[in-house]
Amino acid sequence: MIKKTHHFKNMRAMAIQQTPLKSEKRILLEHEHVPEINKIDVYTSKGGYSALKKVFQNKMTPDSVIDLMKASGLRGRGGAGFPTGSKWSFVPKGNDKPKYLLCNADESEPGTFKDRVLLEKLPHLMIEGMIIGAYSFGARKSYVYIRGEYTYAAMMVEKAIQEAYQVGYLGKNILGSGFDHDMYVHRGAGAYICGEETGLISSLEGKKGWPKLKPPFPAVEGYLKCPTVVNNVETLACVPWIINNGPEAYAKMGTEKSKGTKMWSVSGDVAQPGVYEVELGAPFSVLLNDCCGGIRGGKKLKAVIPGGSSAPIVTAEEAFAMTLDYESIASKGSMLGSGGMIILDESRDLVQVLKNLSEFYADESCGQCTPCREGTGWLEKILHSFTEKQALKTDIELLDRISSNMLGRTICVLADSIAMPVQSYLKKFPQEFQKYLETSSNTSRQRRAL
């Protein structure tokens, strides 16, 4: 309990005020510290909505907006890292059906809280990006699907949308362009799976938040069977900067395949957990030491979960050897994901960590596909046997085999989200599991096994 309070205090500190650090590269969070930046007049006074004006006053064509995005190299910040410009260009043209833009603000991956800062403090940045995005593929309506627990964030976005309507950035004939757009807030009811692209669509349609079988892909048949694009909050928030500063300036930042900046929400055993924006390709130590003030209590780093709880774990050595971009993290067998980084110091018991995660995924599996529905629960039970010191010798190998038979076998990637971590923990920290096996008495379980 004490530990939790401690974390909570730090989180609050993050949410209140954070002046930019030298080691950061802030393009999204540039004005985050400005008081009342969530209000439209303050936002506009800091250059807000200039990108929107640029698009409409310069009479940029929808295709040229998409071309700009493609040139910038912007990739989706929700986890999958799909190029945004391409995603928008997949929406079929000349289709009679209405098109929709859905903003995925159902930030529910454990360890991830970067979108929350944008939603609470810079809702207009996201709204501006959404209007431009919607214009690029002709969506007349967009929805911001906000995680149910984000009550305050939903309120801020709701207010911001109203403000945007009042000044004519939303509604009919935006800035005399002839483009109409309406925006709505939809609040989730508390399911992790509704952050999955098609699960979100099902939920928005009023159904149970079950991911949909692909094909058809949302760009062709999504929300209400109409062409739909689902983008993450951070992705959309990048759009105004790219319009204002040009794709070249954006592409100049980062590495060859990872352009621009990335917001990281760092939690766990660091001195200053919080949200930090750094250039893609920055060394891990910059984020850990310069931004977060190093490991809390002078302890040593044991492991890092780089991109939200579903990302495979990396060891301390691997972490220090990697740079913060898609390719480098992938080369260490993990993924950049949502940028929800969890730092684990030497005192952490990784079997307990994994058990904790498996409980989460077993609870959150939507129950649609058999391997995930049954597999997540099975993994949880076996990991529970480890921590209860009742594991069997065969259980390590069994965990690995169950995971490999869940990987890539389901409609969405929730099964992968626990299968990949299980495999990585087993591979990178086998001694932790072995330790439990040595102390297991396992009499009662063995009797059952017989």
Partner 1 sequence: MAKVKITVNGKELEVEAGKNLVDAAEENGFEIPHYCYHPGLSIAGQCRMCYVEQEGNPKLQVACNMKCSDGLKVKTDTPKVTDAVKWSLEFHLINHPIDCPICDQAGECGLQEYYMKHGKYKSEMHEEKELKPKVVDIGDQVVLDKERCILCSRCVRFTQEISKTSELGIFSRGDRSVIGTVNDSPLTGNYQTNVVDICPVGALTSKDFRFEQRVWFLDETQSICSGCSKGCNVDVHHKKGKHIYRLKPRYNEQVNSYWMCDKGRVTYKDSNFDRRLSNAKLGGVDLPHAEAIAAWAADLKVLIATERTEEIGVWITPHQTNEELVSIFETFATQLKTNKFYSESVETLVQKDEAVDGFLLRSDPYPNSRGFLKTSKEKKIKLQSIEDLIKALEKETISHLVIICPEGERQFPHMSRISQMVKPSQFVVILTPQNAAIEMFPSALSLPTLSHYEKAGTMINHAEISQSLEAGFQMFKESRSIQQTMKDLLEAQAKRAESRERMAN
Chain residues binding partner 1 by CB under 8 A are 191, 193, 208, 213, 215, 362-371, 373-378, 381-382, 385, 392, 394, 398, 405, 408-411, 445, 448-449
CA distance 263 to 387: 35
For partner 1, which is the closer residue by CB, 290 or 359?
359
Which strands form 314-315's sheet, in the order they lie side by side? Answer: 274-279, 261-268, 340-345, 301-305, 314-315
Local structure of 434: helix, strand or coil: helix
For partner 1, which is the closer residue by CB, 154 or 414?
414
For partner 1, which is the closer residue by CB, 304 or 415?
415
Residue that the structure tokens 């050897």 belong to: 321
Of 202, 230, 198, 196, residue with least CA distance to 214: 198
For partner 1, which is the closer residue by CB, 72 or 410?
410
CA distance 333 to 350: 17
Which strands form 141-146's sheet, in the order they lie side by side? Answer: 182-187, 141-146, 100-105, 228-232
Q: Least distance in Å: CB of 408 to partner 1? A: 5
Q: Least distance in Å: CB of 449 to partner 1? A: 4
Residues forming beta bridges with residue 186, ordered by sequence position: 145
Q: Least distance in Å: CB of 426 to partner 1? A: 16
For partner 1, which is the closer residue by CB, 246 or 367?
367
Q: Least distance in Å: CB of 245 to partner 1? A: 39
Of 186, 220, 229, 219, residue with least CA distance to 205: 186
Helices (H), 277-393: 284-285, 316-321, 326-331, 350-364, 370-387
Evaluate whether 157 touches 118 at the Cβ level (below 8 Å). Answer: no
Q: Least distance in Å: CB of 190 to partner 1? A: 11
Q: Least distance in Å: CB of 208 to partner 1? A: 7
Q: Least distance in Å: CB of 106 to partner 1? A: 16
> Long-range contacts of range 370-374, CB-CB < 8 Å, 24 or more positions apart?
371/405, 371/406, 371/409, 371/410, 371/415, 372/406, 372/410, 372/414, 372/415
- Total residue count of the chain as it appears in this document: 450
For partner 1, which is the closer residue by CB, 118 or 391?
391
- CB atoms under 10 Å from CB of 369, counted, come to 20
Evaluate whether 278 touches 260 at the Cβ level (below 8 Å). Answer: no
Local structure of 221: helix, strand or coil: coil
Q: Least distance in Å: CB of 202 to partner 1? A: 13
For partner 1, which is the closer residue by CB, 47 or 408?
408
For partner 1, which is the closer residue by CB, 155 or 437?
437
DSSP conformation letters of 98-109: --EEEEEE---S
For partner 1, which is the closer residue by CB, 261 or 376?
376
Backbone angles phi, psi at 322, to 5 degrees: -105, 155
For partner 1, which is the closer residue by CB, 172 or 448?
448
For partner 1, which is the closer residue by CB, 178 or 215?
215
28's CB contacts (< 8 A; 6+ apart) are 118, 122, 125, 234, 237, 238, 241, 261, 263, 277
